[in-house]
């Protein structure tokens, strides 16, 4: 359960937030950054995450911005998924995030909360992985801009006290040919079985998945195989599957065999729809 008493703080700047985290940690008050809060509540009810102090980052302007220029799109970590949908600056991201839970939940779920979450689906990260996005990370030492494919490996590899501020994506990725698939075993909302996202750039297909392994991923080894145009689609798919970064999940949501069946179908859809594009 959530603790009966939780200290709540709402800083108005990045420096105030990271300094608060440091001070609360020193006081042994188990601080946690808070954005949308949906996962904190969910895990708290399961006795899996019980902070004694919360630092709400929604009052920090840098975390709430959503700005598009001719060079890049910047999305603050506290921007809710519904705002991303309504702006639709990054159509692939819109497609992937649109089907996360239901609209009421997406009003609360933030892009940063989804990326930093502990629930293993975290499918909103997929478009950023295949578009070589950069993350702005705040710490006591200042702000760093780090490529997502450097700092995201199974999860976001933040050091204690570091804070995800925003995600920056170069504009040319926003208009590339894309496709996404979200397959559920049943129902129209809730956790998916597998989510896949793909972009085509300079004739090369980039792919990322959630729900196959116990973490979202982009596999460059899989991309190498899926782009081997000297082979048939079927051979390319089988070779790509051999490069999965982890054994396939086998749980109550779906067996390993069923997930493998769905993955083959998704990869075939990607090839059939994207092969003719020269993005």
Residue in 192, 228, 88 with CA at minimum distance from that of residue 267: 228
Please tell me the predicted confidence (pLDDT) of residue 103.
76
For domain 7-56, give the CATH number.
Answer: 3.30.43
Domain ranges of the chain: 7-56, 67-173, 176-274
- Angstrom CA distances, 182 to 164, 232, 241, stand at 26, 25, 18
Q: For residue 246, is pLDDT > 90?
A: yes
User: Mean pLDDT across the stretch 235-245?
Assistant: 98
Dump pLDDT digits (tens) for 37-64. Answer: 555 555 444 455 568 899 999 999 999 9
Which CATH superfamily hosts domain 176-274? CO dehydrogenase flavoprotein, C-terminal domain (3.30.390.50)
Residue in 83, 148, 119, 138 with CA at minimum distance from that of residue 215: 119
Q: For residue 161, is pLDDT > 80?
A: yes
pTM: 0.91
Please tell me the predicted confidence (pLDDT) of residue 90.
97
Structure tokens, 273: 């729809």
User: CA-CA distance, 269 to 207, in Å (whole number)?
Assistant: 12
Q: Where are the beta strands (DSSP E) in the chain?
A: 7-9, 31-34, 53-56, 66-68, 72-76, 134-139, 142-147, 152-153, 155-156, 163-170, 178-183, 194-201, 204-210, 217-218
Please tell me the predicted confidence (pLDDT) of residue 178.
97
Dump pLDDT digits (tens) for 167-219. Answer: 999 999 999 999 999 987 755 545 678 999 999 999 999 999 999 999 999 99
Fold annotation for 67-173: 3.30.465
Average pLDDT, the chain: 90
Residue in 154, 190, 183 with CA at minimum distance from that of residue 261: 183
Residue in 252, 247, 248, 270 with CA at minimum distance from that of residue 260: 248
């Amino acid at each position: 359960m959530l603790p009966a008493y939780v200290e709540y703080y709402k800083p108005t700047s990045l420096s105030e937030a990271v300094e608060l985290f440091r001070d609360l940690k020193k006081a042994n008050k188990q601080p946690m950054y808070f954005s949308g809060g949906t996962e904190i509540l969910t895990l708290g009810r399961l006795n899996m995450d019980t902070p004694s102090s919360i630092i709400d980052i929604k009052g920090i302007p840098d975390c709430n911005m959503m700005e598009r220029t001719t060079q890049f799109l910047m999305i603050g970590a506290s921007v809710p998924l519904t705002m991303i949908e309504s702006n639709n600056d990054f159509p692939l991201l819109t497609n992937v995030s649109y089907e996360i839970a239901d609209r009421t939940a997406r009003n609360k779920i933030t892009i940063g909360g989804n990326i930093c979450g502990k629930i293993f689906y975290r499918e909103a990260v997929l478009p950023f992985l295949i578009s070589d996005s950069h993350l702005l990370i705040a710490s006591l030492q200042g702000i760093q801009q780090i490529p997502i494919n450097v700092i995201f490996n199974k999860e976001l590899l933040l050091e204690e006290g570091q804070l995800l501020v925003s995600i920056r994506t170069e504009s040319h990725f926003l208009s590339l040919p894309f496709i996404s698939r979200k397959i559920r075993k049943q129902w129209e909302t809730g956790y998916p079985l597998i989510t896949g996202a793909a972009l085509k750039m300079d004739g090369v297909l980039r792919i990322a998945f959630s729900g196959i392994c116990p973490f979202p991923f982009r596999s460059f080894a899989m991309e190498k195989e899926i782009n081997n145009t000297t082979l048939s689609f079927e051979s390319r798919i089988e070779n790509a599957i051999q490069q999965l970064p982890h054994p396939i999940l086998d749980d109550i949501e779906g067996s390993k065999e069923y997930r493998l069946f769905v993955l083959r179908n998704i990869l075939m859809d990607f090839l059939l729809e994207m092969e003719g594009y020269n993005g």
